[in-house]
Homo-oligomer: A and B are copies of this chain.
Amino acid sequence: MVDTLKDLYPSRTIKPTAMLERLDPVVYGGEYGPLSRIQLDSYRDNGFLFFPSFFSADEVAPLVSELQRLCRQPGIARQEGVITEPASEEIRSIFEVHKRSAVFHDLCRHPRILPMAEQLLGSDVYIHQSRINYKPGFEGKGFDWHSDFETWHTEDGMPYMRAVSCSIILTDNTEFNGPLMLIPGSHKYFVPCVGETPEDNFRSSLKQQRLGVPDKHSLRRLIRQGGGIQAPKGAAGSLLLFECNTLHGSNANMSPDPRSNVFFVYNSVRNAPRRPYAASKPRPGFLAEREDFTPLTSR
């Protein structure tokens, strides 16, 4: 059967293309849920919501232990779904932690988190991608500005902007350890990026973003429009929800300590991936769920 779906968000173009207005809603659900009207409005306007100290120190401790346990497993650096720093063998990310670990399996279904994702996406949700990022001291390199949706759409086949990322900070964040930076309001536009997607692009792009980087003119305009860059910082246990199309990046970790977090991408069950829009084949399953779209349930 021919897939006749029109690509609403074309990227990896040959020539530079002007940025497009977003066609999808930002908030899909109604007022029924844990997020207040003010929070929903803020998410709609800015493309993210930050909750300082969402979890207490007591709640964070077992998450940190579990992250350390996973990073220290013998032979972990050579397993599929495990990414090391470009310059060393240190762990940068471990993917599919909601399948590898009972602690993170439960965390993505947490009764204070899952309902927020369901409310924002207005439907049942499943995990498109999960990972822990370790970002070791002095070693963790930065990431250029990018939209996750641009990659998930072009390389994974996610059709619409109907996903939300949840990052739970497991170490105190400061201006020195490479906190996430976001461009408020950038989720309202889609910036087509120049460049053909090579096969197995994911291998290099996980270490350093090269493809899918918006042009400087669009970035400049979006930063001006959004009133500047923001970098929410807080204690371990702080939580950030950010829309799948919000432009974000980060700098290197110049501090001696790791900047660790756990990261869940909730996707609407009505937004399951189709064929990739601009890649010869889909990325491996640890980067993009393509088999199991069973709705998550809090237990």
Chain B residues within an 8 Å CB radius of A176: 181, 228-229, 231
Chain B residues within an 8 Å CB radius of A228: 176
Q: Mark A162-186, 1 if CB is under 8 A from B, else 0.
A: 0000000000000110100100000
Task: Check if B254 sits within 8 Å of A181, measured CB to CB.
Answer: yes
Chain B residues within an 8 Å CB radius of A231: 175-176
A137 at interface (Cβ–Cβ under 8 A)? yes
Task: Check if B254 sits within 8 Å of A216, measured CB to CB.
Answer: no
Majority secondary structure, A binding face: loop
Task: Check if A252 sits within 8 Å of B252, measured CB to CB.
Answer: yes
Interface 9-residue window, one of A59-67, A148-156, A217-225, A271-279: A217-225
Task: Check if B256 sits within 8 Å of A254, measured CB to CB.
Answer: no
Q: Which of B138, B229, B252 contacts A255 (CB 8 A)?
A: B229
Q: Which of B219, B251, B255 contacts A142 (CB 8 A)?
A: B251
Chain B residues within an 8 Å CB radius of A178: 251
- Chain A's interface size range is 20 to 34
Chain B residues within an 8 Å CB radius of A43: none
A249 at interface (Cβ–Cβ under 8 A)? yes
Q: Mark A126-141, 1 if CB is under 8 A from B, else 0.
A: 0000000000011000
- In the complex, what residue of chain B is closest to A216 when comparing beta carbons? B138
Q: A175-B231, A220-B256, A224-B256 are in contact. List 15 more A-B contacts (CB 8 A).
A: A137-B216, A137-B220, A138-B145, A138-B216, A138-B219, A142-B251, A142-B254, A176-B181, A176-B228, A176-B231, A219-B256, A229-B255, A251-B251, A251-B254, A252-B252
21 contacts across the A-B interface (CB closer than 8 A): A138-B219, A142-B142, A142-B251, A142-B252, A145-B254, A175-B175, A175-B231, A176-B228, A176-B229, A176-B231, A181-B254, A216-B256, A220-B256, A223-B255, A223-B256, A224-B256, A229-B255, A249-B254, A251-B251, A251-B252, A251-B254
